[in-house]
Amino acid sequence: MKTVFTNAVILIGAGNWRPIENGYIAIDGDRIMEIGSGPYLGAADSIHDMSGKLILPGLYNMHSHTPMSILRGVGTGLALQQWLFECMFPLEAKMNAEDMRIGCRLAIAEMLSGGVVSFSDMYHYPADYVQEIIDAGIKANVSFPIMEENPTGSQAHDSRFNLSVEFVRAFDESAGGRLKADFGIHAEYTNTPESMERYARVCQEMNGRMHLHLSETAAEHDRCKQRYGKTPARLFADLGVFENPTIAAHCVFAEPEDIELFREKGVSPIHNPSSNMKLGSGLMPIRAMLDAGVRLTIGTDSSASNNNQNLFEEIHLAAMIHCGFHRDATVIRAEELLDMATINGAIAQGRPDCGALKAGYKADLIAVDLRRPHLIPNHDTAALLVYSAQASDVVLTMVDGRIVYEDGRLLTIDCEKMAADADASLRRVFSVDVASAG
Amino acid sequence: MKTVFTNAVILIGAGNWRPIENGYIAIDGDRIMEIGSGPYLGAADSIHDMSGKLILPGLYNMHSHTPMSILRGVGTGLALQQWLFECMFPLEAKMNAEDMRIGCRLAIAEMLSGGVVSFSDMYHYPADYVQEIIDAGIKANVSFPIMEENPTGSQAHDSRFNLSVEFVRAFDESAGGRLKADFGIHAEYTNTPESMERYARVCQEMNGRMHLHLSETAAEHDRCKQRYGKTPARLFADLGVFENPTIAAHCVFAEPEDIELFREKGVSPIHNPSSNMKLGSGLMPIRAMLDAGVRLTIGTDSSASNNNQNLFEEIHLAAMIHCGFHRDATVIRAEELLDMATINGAIAQGRPDCGALKAGYKADLIAVDLRRPHLIPNHDTAALLVYSAQASDVVLTMVDGRIVYEDGRLLTIDCEKMAADADASLRRVFSVDVASAG
């Protein structure tokens, strides 16, 4: 099956954000065969005229907890600790497998319609919901994090440690490689050094990848230094965690030595601007990381602390806050943000043939309708994407050569059923009677 | 002509953001006749079933320079002074009346499709483009600002002063009151105290309203204090400017005494979070203003420094940055932001019967589709609008009882013609040969 998109403006990505005008892109099966400009002269099973549209690599949402989408908007306006302990943990304890599936499906629906082709997820008992990922046709790296002070109290620690490793064994490289299973450490403050060290060793033995939270709040960062005499980054490094390819969410309070560690160990920090702003956590030292040559990525965090899965919004917000905080319009360039949201995510997820539009790469791409009033005129395509475009300007999302979203329609998700299922879940989770929560 | 919307979730606004479930709203001509919940039992010419939709007051974009939409994205990443003097002023000097009309039309198209029912504009020679406002069916307060150091150099000052006053005489309260003409002072640093004082007196004699820039950057604020020994706000007050109902864009560096002046004189500061962040200007002291009882409003600024006219984005950004900067998730409430974007704007524009959904008020309203994946579930409607919703979730915009946007279609603007006209303008303005710029 050979599909060709013609007459498009094309952005290759991977550092190259200069538009190719009147471009074509030919796809065979799940891979890109050829990119060029001018008329396409080869054979094709299906030709899409993309006049007035921009094609670029699909986006990577590098940090989420997708099942929490059913908790969207709960506890808005509370500070992190109160929000976590008074709202999130009690409600999460009431969520069953079906609720997690619905939350994950809502998140995927939003991501695919907003141009996200792959995400990195971290949540309890993900084996219960990964079928949603397989069915929806999106890519994902999912982790079942170890967390000794598990607030749901529903599993003993050893069992959880083993379940986490079993999850990797069962699901890594499934669905034709679309689904990867990562190792996960919730955070240094919810685990003992001994178990983190042991877990990191297992990860290394299995050639795994690691997903964790790091220095999200000042309190957490400072408590770690008090407890261990070192920063969370240094602690993880000393425990051998960073011997594995690691993505580290937040890193708001990363110190210069931590940033040097990230560079040295190839750790990919994940910037979550909405979550960090909304919860009042603080501002990641993004410029220092970029200058140090650290591979920066970007994510939404969960819809409970964001409150959506809109990566265009994150890119825009990142551009805004760093210039605003530093009172310097030159702090970050549009092209750097687009790399963070595409190729850097692909590399950090262990997908070396994804994240850019190149011959031989996986056909993971999105199309943006440039004829919307707020995208006219287009003086600078990279700036247009970062400062003017909206997730809703995405009119086509393709993953592994398969169109999963087109012109407002999700082709792999039944949205009416999803809304009805969400209603049922909400009645369960938010029932006053805990006994009836299922 | 009596139109009724039924089965909607309704937000009244004006401090009341608790949803009315299963609500109806009856409109006769340009005014709201009745709001209630349950079945609507009266007569109607047209009944719209709004199941799954939220109806709320239309939004007020309180600061823009709409003709600059044709300069969208130019000079992205430059600091304010360089951006202004090297990009904006030379290009603006090349814009003719037709270019301004196209820019204004692009901005209106974006605003109506994103739920904005009224805007406050400030630009050179607005008589050349106000017909766009009249034709599009949107509301606007437009000002022709005095600006002695007029960088376009195309008019002598006295002529400009008189043209500004003439503009008010010619256009205030036109188009059935939809179009109002305001007085405008570009800024204290582009005018002499003498002319500002004289202009303020004329404004007062004519019962006018004033629109100006105030303390946008630290440099501008500090230079004023050096030059006059007082802040811009105090200078304006001493010159009698604040004896008129005044909207003041930016106020980033307003000092406590300035805030007290705003309260005392009824000045309405306009928060422009995107512009202030993007240009690296700084952060408005929004909490101090709210605590002082100042009437705060919100705007986009021009698409050259934003780069769009998306008020949902501004509301979201305002929520994010203030919590993030102050590391406090409780700095601003969703309800406060919604008041800023609706009723406060209406009052500041001199529209006492607008900005809320109440019997007898003008029928200026918008509908949001709550069935989008990112708006499920809805635990808190005000938070949903601020933190999850997008401008593209607006499916209906009504101004003075007339539907001007519905389900992706602008009913008063020919978008294909607009795109073609924009192309022609761009070729003129960005031509290398200045002589051919028209």
pLDDT in tens, B178-221: 999 999 999 999 999 999 999 999 999 999 999 999 999 999 99
Q: Are A316 and A382 in contact (CB under 8 A)?
A: no
Counting residues of chain B whose pLDDT is more than 90, the rounded percentage is 88
CA B201, chain centre distance (Å): 25
Residues 215-234 of B with CB under 8 A from A: 218
| pLDDT interval class at A152 (50, 70, 90) | low
User: 57-76 in B: which are within 8 Å (CB) of A?
Assistant: 70-74, 76
Closest residue on chain A to B413 (Cα): A373
C-alpha angle B326-B330-B333 in degrees, rounded to nearest 5 = 115
Lowest mean pLDDT among A77-81, A236-240, B95-99: A77-81
pLDDT computed for residue B85 by the predictor = 86
Taking each helix axis from N to C terminus, what angle separates B311-325 and B334-341, rounded to the nearest 10 degrees? 140
In this prediction, residue B80 carries a pLDDT of 74
Report yes or no: A120 at the B interface, CB cutoff 8 Å.
no
Q: For chain A, how far is it from start to end, CA to CA, in angstroms? A: 45
Q: What pLDDT was estimated at residue A437?
A: 34
The pLDDT of B71-97, averaged and rounded, is 86
- Residues in chain A, how many? 438
- Chain B hits for A392, CB-CB cut-off 8 Å, are 390, 392-393
Share of chain A above pLDDT 90, in %: 88
Contact B5, B37 (CB under 8 A): no
B37, burial (CB in 10 Å: exposed 0-12, middle 13-18, buried 19+): middle
Collect all residues of chain A within an 8 Å Cβ-Cβ radius of residue B281: 324, 327
Could you tell me the two tokens for A419?
A: 């809304």
Question: Which two tokens mark A356?
Answer: 């850019």
| Strands B246-250, B268-271: pairing kind | parallel
Per DSSP (E only), the strands in B124-272 are: 139-143, 179-185, 210-214, 246-250, 268-271
Whether the CB of A37 is below 8 Å from some CB of chain B: the reply is: no
A175-183 mean pLDDT: 98
**Does residue B211 sit in helix, strand or coil?**
strand
pLDDT at B402: 98
Angle at A304 between CA A301 and CA A309, to 5 degrees: 50
Of all residues in chain A, the percent with pLDDT exceeding 70 is 96
**Chain A to chain B, count of Cβ pairs less than 8 Å apart?**
211
Q: Which of A119-133, B147-161, B295-309, B384-398 has the lowest mean pLDDT?
A: B147-161
Phi/psi for A222 (5° steps) reads: -70, -40
Whether B438 has a pLDDT exceeding 50, the answer reads no
Q: What is the mean pLDDT of residues A413-422?
A: 96
Contact across the interface for B77 and A334, Cβ inside 8 Å: yes
Over residues A196-233, the pLDDT tens digits come to 999 999 999 999 999 999 999 999 999 999 999 999 99
Is B378 in Cβ contact with A319 (below 8 Å)?
no
Instruction: Show the tokens assigned to A211.
Output: 């997903």
**Separation CA B308–CA B306 (nearest Å):** 5
Dist. CA B245–CA B211, nearest whole Å: 9
Check if the beta carbon of residue A13 is closer than 8 Å to that of residue A343.
yes
- The tokens 């300069």 sit on which residue? B71
- pLDDT confidence of residue A422: 95
pLDDT at residue A77, rounded to an integer: 76
Q: Which element (helix H / strand E) includes A63?
A: strand A59-64
CA distance B181 to B197: 19
Nearest by Cα to A23 from A46, A64, A52? A52
- Give the full edge-to-edge strand order of the sheet including A116-122: A59-64, A116-122, A139-143, A179-185, A210-214, A246-250, A268-271, A297-298
Chain B residues near residue A333 by CB distance under 8 angstroms: 77
pLDDT beyond 90 at A171: yes
ipTM over 0.85: yes
CA distance B45 to B40: 13
Q: How many CB atoms lie within 10 A of CB A93?
A: 15
Q: What pLDDT is attached to residue B83?
A: 83
CA distance A163 to chain B (A): 30
- CA B226 – CA A247 distance, rounded (Å): 50
pLDDT band at A113 (very low <50, low <70, confident <90, very high): very high
Provide the CATH number for the domain formed by A59-348 in this structure: 3.20.20.140
Tokens 């039992």, residue?
A: B41
CA distance A220 to chain B (A): 14
The band of B437, judged by pLDDT with boundaries at 50, 70 and 90, is very low
Q: For residue B387, give the DSSP letter.
A: I
Phi first, then psi, for residue A213 (nearest 5°) are -95, 140
Q: Which residues of A248-283 are buried (b: 16+ CB within 10 A; e: fewer)?
A: bbbbbbbbeebbebbeebebbbbbbbbbbbbbbbbb
Mean pLDDT of A105-119: 98
Q: Which whole number is the average pLDDT over B2-24? A: 98
Helix spans in B83-189 (H): 89-92, 97-113, 130-136, 157-171
The Cα A329–Cα B178 span in angstroms is: 36
User: Cα separation of B4 and B10, whole Å?
Assistant: 13
Q: Would the pLDDT of B150 be above 60?
A: no
Is A84 in the B-facing interface, judged by CB distances under 8 Å? no
Strands A139-143, A409-410: pairing is unpaired
Report whether A45 contacts A241 (CB < 8 A). no
Q: Give me the architecture of the B2-58+356-407 domain, per CATH.
A: Roll (2.30)
Q: Are B142 and B130 in contact (CB under 8 A)?
A: yes
Q: Is A313 helix (H, G, I), strand (E, B) or coil?
A: helix
Hey, what are A119's tokens? 């995400």
What's residue A154's pLDDT? 52
Least confident piece of the model among A148-152, A155-159, A246-250? A148-152
pLDDT at A156: 55
User: Residue A317's closest CA among A298, A292, A343, A344?
Assistant: A298
Domain with CATH 2.30.40.10 in chain B: 2-58+356-407
Whether the ω angle into residue A151 lies within 30 degrees of 0, i.e. cis, is no
Please, are residues A193 and A201 in contact by the beta-carbon 8 Å criterion?
Answer: no
Taking the C-alpha atoms of residue A356 and residue A343, their distance in angstroms, rounded to an integer, is 6
- Distance between CA atoms of residues B178 and B349, nearest Å: 11
CA distance B274 to B306: 5
- pLDDT of the residue at A435: 40
* Cβ–Cβ gap B303/A374 under 8 Å: yes
Q: Which of A160, A139, A165, A138 is nearest to A148 (CA)?
A: A160
Q: Which band of pLDDT confidence, cut at 50, 70 and 90, is reported for residue A87?
A: confident
Pairing of strands B139-143, B116-122: parallel
Contact residues, A window 295-354, toward B, CB-based 8 Å cutoff: 303, 306-310, 313, 316-317, 319-321, 323-331, 333-334
H/E segment holding residue B34: strand B31-37
What token pair was written down for A190?
Answer: 């919810």
Of A77, A328, A377, the CB nearest to B280: A328
Residue B26's beta-bridge partner residues? B4, B34
Cα separation, A356 vs A367, in Å, equals: 14
Q: Return the sign of the alpha-carbon dihedral for residues A283, A287, A289, A290.
A: positive
| Mean pLDDT of chain B, nearest integer | 94
Residues B345-358 have pLDDT tens digits of 999 999 999 999 99
Task: Give A-chain residues touching B78 at CB under 8 angstroms.
Answer: 329-330
CA distances from B205 to A218, B202, B243, B261 (A): 56, 5, 11, 22
Cα(B326)–Cα(B123) distance, rounded to whole angstroms?
34
Residues A396 and A367 sit within 8 Å (Cβ to Cβ): yes
Assign B227 to helix, strand or coil.
Answer: helix
Give Cα B204 to chain centroid, integer Å: 23
**Is the CB of residue A431 less than 8 Å away from at least one CB of chain B?**
no
Is 70 exceeded by the pLDDT of residue A54?
Answer: yes
Cβ within 8 Å of residue B53, ≥6 positions away: B8, B9, B367, B368, B369, B370, B395, B396
Q: Residue B422: its chain A contacts at CB < 8 A?
A: 376-377
Q: A436 pLDDT band (50/70/90 cuts)?
A: very low
Q: Give the number of residues written for chain B.
A: 438
B276 touches chain A (CB under 8 A): yes
User: Quick one: average pLDDT of A170-182?
Assistant: 98
Q: Mean pLDDT in chain A?
A: 94
Query: Which residue matches tokens 């050179």?
Result: B124
CA dihedral for A58, A64, A68, A74, sign (positive or negative): negative
pLDDT at B157: 61
CA–CA separation, B214 and B271 (whole Å): 11
Average pLDDT over every residue of B151-168: 77
pTM of the model: 0.96
Pairing of strands B297-298, B268-271: parallel
